[in-house]
Structures are given as structure tokens and as C-alpha cells.
Amino acid sequence: MQLFHRIARSEHRPISFTLDGTPCVGREGDTLLTAVLTAGTAVRSSEFSDAPRAGFCQMGACQDCWVTLANGERARACTTPLAAGMEIFTGTGAAA
Amino acid sequence: MTGRPQPLVVGAGPAGVRAAEALANAGLRPLVVDEAPACGGQIYRQRLVDDGRSTRDLYGSEAPKAERLHRDFAALARRIDYWPQALVWNLREGMADIALAGVSREVAYDGLILATGASDRVLPVPGWTLPGVFTLGGAQIALKTQGCAIGSRVVFAGSGPLLYLVAWQYMKAGIDVAAVLDATPLMAKYHLLRGLVLAPDIVLRGMRFAAELRLRGVAIHYGIEDLAMEGVTRVEGVRWRQGERERSLACDGIGYGLSLRSETQLADLAGCAFSFNARENAFLPQRDISGRSSVAGVYLAGDGAGIAGADAAELAGERGALALLEDRGLPHALERAADLERRLSRIGRFREVLEAAFPYPGHWAKCVADETLVCRCEEVSAGTLRQSVRDFALDELNRLKAVSRIGMGRCQGRFCGAAAAEILACEIAKSVDAVGHLRAQAPVKPLPLALKPGRARTAAE
Ligand SMILES: Cc1cc2nc3c(=O)[nH]c(=O)nc-3n(C[C@H](O)[C@H](O)[C@H](O)COP(=O)(O)OP(=O)(O)OC[C@H]3O[C@@H](n4cnc5c(N)ncnc54)[C@H](O)[C@@H]3O)c2cc1C
Ligand code: FES
């Protein structure tokens, strides 16, 4: 299950990361948002209603796409480039 | 650097690039700051890496302009200071707080050009927080800069020129476009005929988008109402009403937006006076045709102080820079300034036509159901807002914010502010210009928690 469908860069260098512990592969040039949404359907869940969220504006304006990284840091997924070995947590189990 | 600090240009989109260029051409060395990793702004935004697509694939008819802007900015490299991936998060008297690579720097400036651009304007509808629902601009960014479609069967809904442009771009990229749902009536489109005189290429291009979509079998529905996005953990369909008929469609991606709204937070922090702009139905920082704001030494250029499009942004960026030069007593091209102003007012007249062709859904606040979430950050519903207005007898937007938390979340009201103002105005039977606008607060966007304070400096040190 995924939200995004690649129409370019699908042969670019693979970049490994984990999504809620599940090994996944993104491509060179991906933002975290792209990497997560080509593997799953949400980047976080709302702290109020638990509803899944997957970003909205993709330009760093709505702040709906913050994810948690393994070191406890938080990153805005749509404006952060994917790097090898990142451990991304959505807290939604949406990668299944 | 000794003497006066550098001028500061915020934004490296069409407006910021042309402003920086004009300043550099006059011998000043501006500092240009932009959050993005490369210049171009929204429309001419660049990819993180090359992906085999041509600039024509990415920017369509605007490819030559995109290439020119990127090239001209690259040519400035030695004559300006440029901080990409840096956020101007606060402005104080002649001093900017800029977050760059985990460090916050205080930068003194002398002369400030705000070219902060815009983002999608939305009015909340049921289901707009579901995964798979993005703004029109967001849907375009996924395609343009990430080479991804937001779904495999996508519906585009809302209004404004981006509606047809993005739908057409998806269709061209080979993605199944299930429908275009235009919230404005077909009759309104006849206003575009007036636009044929002012901007024939833009109007004809828009008509071509609609015609080609239809030719490829994409249904276009006009004057749709009661739009709602449906699904449980992700979007699965869309529902709307057309006249008496309830209609629905299955889809797994939706692009939604109602034209654009200006990014005005920094102008507010800089102390610029705002006034209500009827054409855009929003409070905007005041600027004259030269780009001068109400504050000496602060200039406003491009979509950040009123939506006029990318061509106007380039003109306004240069014009604002000329005003800065003039106010500094430096040589500046008077004739060029007058020419830029003439072209800007022509585009301004065309904007009137576009607003008439894609009118703002003024009745939205009356119809929105109590359960609909207005604020996606703090999950405040329309019903809560109405209740707060009644319980506390409110008549001003910042009071409503204090009581209900609307506009207090991470997006600072960028996506709920317009809607909250409409609901408040509707509830007290006043017009939306009577309820005020959300005051900006630093930081204008959330900062990384680990941000370290840096020492005060100027960029050229
Ligand atoms: C998502 C989106 C897609 C669009 N697509 C099209 C299109 O395809 N065709 C079209 O004709 N028009 C399009 N438009 C409209 C078009 O982008 C604008 O008319 C044009 O870009 C305006 O230029 P500008 O220089 O005023 O602002 P922008 O191009 O928006 O540039 C503003 C820049 O300022 C930066 N910035 C803002 N605030 C800060 C800050 N505090 N600190 C650091 N940097 C900051 C931003 O990162 C941005 O790069 C689009 C608009 C949006 C929002
Ligand atoms: S999707 Fe809006 S900030 Fe990332």
C-alpha cells in the first residue's frame, strides 16, 4: 500500500532506510515524504485524534508532515532529503 | 564589512532573484536567503537531482523563463551572498534572525526586500486531512520536483488557473485524471474573454488545457458544491453536489486549492501596515506600485504581498530594488522604473479578470458543517469556532485565536486563517474585512529544537 507512484527516478541509486522498523528502499533525490509515501500511506498520526496524516502542501508551509527520527530529532518530511540508514518513525503502522 | 550593512532579500523566487540582480548591478552586495536548496521559488522550483526529464517536461511553456532565471541567478554568485536552506524566522529593527544549518544567526541589514511568495489558499471541506489529499501546488511539486504522482487515479478540485494547469500536467505525464471539479460556475469563465486583450497567451493556454483534458475524456464539472473527500485511513473517493444531484467518484488522490494566498508573516513582523484587499479577500501589507511598504527601507515584491503571478513577480522584484536604490540616493534607472510600473499595472488589470473568472466561494462559511475540521494542526472544528464566537461574544480574529487555538498551531494559520475569518464574520453578520487578521509571531515556522544561538554578524564577514 502506497500513496505516491513514481514516474521518474525509479532507476536512481537505491537508498535504504527503515519505516517503523521495516526495511524500505528510496531513491537518490527523494525527500523523506516521497520515500515514506512510496512505501506507505501516512507519515504520522494526529496527536489529537490519532487520525493518519500524510502532509498536505509539500512546500514546507502546512507543517503536517513532521516525522520522528531514531535519534529523537524531528524532521519536516517534505523538505528533508532522504539519507542512507535513516530510521523513520510515523507511529501509525502504515508501512504494513 | 565596514560602513552600512548589506541589503537583505528574503526569497529566491522570480521576485527575489530579479531584486538581487538589480541591487548587484548597482554595485551593492545583497544577502539572499531562501529556505529552498536552490533558487526558483515555487513556479521555477528545481529538482534535488537530475532525473532525465527536460526543463520542458518540468516547466512546460514556461521552460525558457525558468532556464533564464536559474542562469541569471547563477551568474550573480560572486556579486551577492546567498544562503540556501536558511529560514528568516524573525525580523526586528534592522536585524534578522536566520536559521542556517542548525545555528541561528543575527544579521544586521540596511534595506529589506521581502519576496516571500505564496502558498495554496484553501477552505476546509470534510475529509481534507485524509492521506492522499494534497493542495494543488503540493500535487504539482510531487510531480515536478519528485517525479511522483499523488495517486494512480486522481481528482483535481477547487478553482483558479492552477486547477487546470496541474490536471493537465498530470494527464500529460500519463496519470489517470478521474475528473476536474471546478467550484466556480462555467458562466464566470466568460470573463476570460476580456482577458484575451490583456494577456492573450495566458488565456489561450488555459483554454487549451481545458480543451485537451476534455479531448482525452477527462470530465470537467463546473459550479460544484458541498465537496467532500471520503475514506477511512486514506482517500478513497470524492463526493459533491451539482444543482440537485449528488454525485461521487472513486479515486486515490486529490489535489485541492482555491487559488493562492500571500505569505505575509515577515511583513507583519517588520511592522508593515496591512489593509483589506477586496480582490483577494485578504488583509495584505500595503505597498505602492514601486513596492515601498509603510516602513522606510522595507520593500515588498512578488506574490508575497498580493497574488499577481510569476511574470509580475520578476518585474516587481526589479522595481522594488530600484526603489531601494533611489531611497539610498544611488543612481537608478527612472525610465526603466516607469516601464516596469506600466507592465505591472497591466498585469494587475488581468488579475481582476482572473478573480472574476474564478470567484471566491463567499458563501462557504454559511454552508460548512459543524463537524468539519477547520484547523488541521490543532483539530479545531467549525462548530467549536461558532460556539466560541457565541460564548465569548467575539468580534475579532485574534481574540477567537486566543479562545479556540485556531491559528495557534504549527502552520500559524496559513491554512485555516482565511476560513476562521469567514466563519467569525458570518457568525456576527459582518463582512470579513471587519474581523481583522491573524497577527504573525516569531518564529514564522517551527525551528528545529536543537537550534543553537550564533553570534551577531553580517553575511560578508
Ligand atoms: C506550490 C505552487 C505552485 C505553483 N505553480 C505555478 C505554475 O506552475 N505556474 C504558474 O504560473 N504559477 C504557479 N504558481 C504561482 C507562482 O509560483 C508565483 O506566481 C510565483 O512563483 C511568484 O514568485 P515570487 O518570487 O513572488 O514567490 P515564490 O516563487 O513563491 O518564491 C518565494 C521564495 O521565498 C522563500 N521564502 C519565503 N519565506 C521565507 C523565509 N521566511 N525564509 C527563507 N525563505 C523564505 C520560499 O522558499 C520561496 O522560494 C505556483 C504557486 C505555488 C504556491
Ligand atoms: S507537507 Fe506541508 S510542510 Fe510538509
pLDDT in the model for residue B160: 94
Residues B253, B157 share a domain: yes
CATH number for the domain harbouring residue B412: 1.10.10.1100
pLDDT in the model for residue B332: 85
Residues B396-423 have pLDDT tens digits of 999 999 999 999 999 999 999 999 999 9
B361 three-state secondary structure: coil
Is the peptide bond prior to B161 cis by the omega test (within 30 degrees of 0)? no
As for how many domains chain B has, the answer is: 3
Helix, strand, coil shares of chain A, percent, nearest 5, are 10, 30, 60
* Per-residue pLDDT band at A95 (split at 50, 70, 90): very low
Residues B325, B232 share a domain: no
Q: ipTM of the predicted structure?
A: 0.96
Specify the CATH number for A14-89; select among 3.30.9.100, 3.10.20.440, 3.40.47.10, 3.40.50.460: 3.10.20.440
Q: Within 13 A of B276's CA, how many CA atoms are on the CB side? A: 11
In a domain, B455, yes or no: no
* Per-residue pLDDT band at A73 (split at 50, 70, 90): confident
Residues B236, B214 share a domain: yes
Domain locations along chain A: 14-89
d(CA B410, nearest CA chain A) in Å:
6
- CA-to-CA distance for B29 and B325, rounded, in angstroms? 12
Residues B142, B236 share a domain: yes
Residues B346, B303 share a domain: yes
Cross-strand pairs, B133: B254
Residues B110, B133 share a domain: no
Residues B298, B250 share a domain: no
Taking contacts as CB-CB distances below 8 angstroms, the residues of chain B near A34 are 142, 146, 148
Residues B218, B135 share a domain: yes
Beta carbons of B177 and B164 less than 8 angstroms apart: no
In a domain, B59, yes or no: yes
Ligand 1 mean position, distance from CA B313 (Å): 9
The DSSP output letter for B211 is: H
**Touching A: B residues 227-246, CB under 8 Å:** 233-234
Nearest to B322 by CA among B285, B345, B288: B288
Ligand 1 closest atom vs CA B316: 26
Residues B289, B244 share a domain: no
- CA-to-CA distance for B353 and A76, rounded, in angstroms? 37
- CA-to-CA distance for A69 and B38, rounded, in angstroms? 25
In a domain, B439, yes or no: no
- CA-to-CA distance for B338 and B9, rounded, in angstroms? 22
Taking contacts as CB-CB distances below 8 angstroms, the residues of chain A near B129 are 46, 51, 53, 56, 64
B185: Cβ contacts below 8 Å, ≥ 6 apart: B222, B223
Residue A96 clears pLDDT 50, i.e. is over it: no
Domain boundary, last residue among B258, B285, B317: B258
In a domain, B330, yes or no: yes
- CA-to-CA distance for B380 and B359, rounded, in angstroms? 26
Expressed as residue numbers, the domain containing B33 is: 8-118+262-354
Question: In Å, how far are A53, B166, B167, B189 from B159, measured between CA atoms?
Answer: 24, 11, 12, 11
In a domain, B185, yes or no: yes
B24 three-state secondary structure: helix
- CA-to-CA distance for B384 and A73, rounded, in angstroms? 33
Residue A46 clears pLDDT 80, i.e. is over it: yes
Domain boundary, last residue among B308, B336, B354: B354
Ligand nearest to the CA of A43: 2
pLDDT in the model for residue A18: 96
In a domain, B444, yes or no: no
Domain boundary, last residue among B223, B258, B293: B258
Residues B139, B249 share a domain: yes
In a domain, B80, yes or no: yes
Chain B residue closest in CA terms to A3: B151
* Per-residue pLDDT band at B449 (split at 50, 70, 90): low
Residues B91, B29 share a domain: yes
pLDDT in the model for residue A47: 87
B257–A contact, CB cutoff 8 A: no
Ligand 2 near A55 CB (within 6 A): yes
- Contact between B131 and A54 using a beta-carbon 8 Å cutoff: yes
CATH number for the domain harbouring residue B213: 3.50.50.60
Residue range B282-293: average pLDDT?
97
pLDDT in the model for residue B412: 92
pLDDT in the model for residue A15: 97
In a domain, B275, yes or no: yes
Nearest to B411 by CA among B265, B220, B208: B265
Interface test with A, best of B47, B49, B148 (most A CBs within 10 A): B148
Chain A residue closest in CA terms to B234: A41
Ligand nearest to the CA of B137: 1
Interface test with B, best of A45, A64, A69 (most B CBs within 10 A): A64
